[in-house]
Amino acid sequence: MKKIIMIVGLFILGIQSIYAQELIAVNHTAGGSEFFTRLDSAVAHSANGDYIYLPGTALMNIGNLVIDKGVHIIGAGIYPDSCYATGTTFLTGNITIVSGADNGSLQGFILTGVLSFGTSKANQHVSSYYVSRCNLSTIYLSNNGTDTTTSSFLFRENIIRGHIYGGYSNASFRNNIIEAQLNYFYGATFLHNDFLWGSNKTLNFYVKNSTFSNNIFKNPCVAYYGWIPIQCTDNNYYYNLFNGPIGFYYDYYGSCIANLNGFGNISGNHENVPNEQIYTSQSGNAYDIHHNYHLIAGSPGMNGGSDGTDCGIYGGEPFKDGMLPVNPHIQFKYVAGSTSPSGTLNIHFKVAAQEK
């Protein structure tokens, strides 16, 4: 209840300014709130643990934003239907997370540019970083995606449009829709994701000792029809659903992809499942807001995961339709065009708490 009152208070406190221009609200854990017109200024004036709330906006140019504090940046959301009253939060530019941002998070916005961790080896290590319910392009989990990082990450319920370069991290990806390829992971976990990659292989370069469980692969996981990944070895595959065969081959360096020579574990997978037995309504290899990614009745993936839930994003702790962030959300707003004769400005806001 305290959090709901705080959020509503932020909007009412700055209501006149917010309607004059779209403002960014910072709620300080030490007490008090501030408003800014630029995201870099909001970050500069915040401290670890502070919450930064972004407005729904057609376009917000953030340039090359560097975040060096453990702040929580929360947008209004990414689905137009769910954000009818607020608008979606649409950021143009790049975000770089650097050392000092431990325990921070990003949530509820569309990013056109690159999300990366570190500008160099010296500042690329970030612990316990959480990214959820965002629509993202290319991701580098170290400064260039190939330098080894000790950072720890959780990506959950995102739309990821670009390739992911893991920095040999043991990151965890859960309940995401991933359109492109995976590169440079070591000991990572991929659980209940939908991989829509439409070319020859989902695992591309140097994905090792990682575990894939309860995912859906619209196309081959590693190698298929002669397209061969480089050094994708010792990975485990449990209870995934494949549109074709898993397709294990030797890579360019003669290393075995999976357990042909005793490497990795493969168990319980659903192979060669035709498209018409996967999704309720889906086509192509790119995410589409109008598609329905629930499994169709009778799909082998229904309750087909290792945990007894569906393969894909609606299994485990399921993907949240509408992808609204966790903070209370404005469902309806009305602000009168002028004050009454007595000087009163009539406003009406309807705010709903989010269960998760």
Q: What is the pLDDT of residues 69-106, one digit of tens each?
A: 999 999 988 876 666 566 789 999 999 999 999 999 99
Answer yes or no: is 95 within a domain: yes
Start-to-end C-alpha separation, the chain: 15
Answer yes or no: is 339 within a domain: no
Whether 139 has a pLDDT exceeding 90, the answer reads yes
For the chain, the average pLDDT equals 82
CB atoms within 10 A of CB 355: 6
Unique residue bearing structure tokens 């807001």:
289
Predicted local distance difference test score (pLDDT) of residue 31: 95
Per-residue burial over 52-83, b if 16 or more Cβ lie within 10 Å, else e, is bbbbbbeebebeebbbbbbbbbbbbbbeeebb
Answer yes or no: is 345 within a domain: no
Share of the chain above pLDDT 90, in %: 56
Whether 198 has a pLDDT exceeding 70, the answer reads no
Predicted local distance difference test score (pLDDT) of residue 268: 94
Predicted local distance difference test score (pLDDT) of residue 4: 43
Give CA–CA dist 38/58, Å, rounded: 15
Answer yes or no: is 175 within a domain: yes
Domain count within the chain:
1
Q: Provide the residue range defining the domain that includes 74.
A: 55-324
Residue 243 makes CB contacts below 8 A (sequence gap 6+) with: 217, 218, 219, 272, 273, 274, 275, 278
Q: Write out pLDDT tens, residues 299-314.
A: 999 999 999 999 999 9
pTM (predicted TM-score): 0.85
Answer yes or no: is 40 within a domain: no
Predicted local distance difference test score (pLDDT) of residue 258: 43
Answer yes or no: is 293 within a domain: yes
Q: Write out pLDDT tens, residues 238-250.
A: 999 988 777 654 4
Q: If pLDDT is split at 50, 70 and 90, which confidence band does 190 have?
A: very high
Share of the chain above pLDDT 70, in %: 73
Answer yes or no: is 346 within a domain: no
Whether 54 has a pLDDT exceeding 50, the answer reads yes
Predicted local distance difference test score (pLDDT) of residue 25: 95
Q: If pLDDT is split at 50, 70 and 90, which confidence band does 298 have?
A: very high
- Torsion angle in degrees (nearest 10) through CA of 322, 351, 46, 143: 0
Q: Write out pLDDT tens, residues 165-187.
A: 999 999 999 999 999 888 999 99
Say which range, 30-34, 253-257, 263-267, has the weakest mean pLDDT: 253-257
Predicted local distance difference test score (pLDDT) of residue 257: 42
Whether 222 has a pLDDT exceeding 60, the answer reads no
Answer yes or no: is 316 within a domain: yes
Whether 233 has a pLDDT exceeding 90, the answer reads no
Whether 346 has a pLDDT exceeding 80, the answer reads no
Which comes out higher in pLDDT, residue 350 or 150?
Answer: 150
Predicted local distance difference test score (pLDDT) of residue 261: 39
Helix (H) or strand (E) holding 250: none
Predicted local distance difference test score (pLDDT) of residue 256: 36
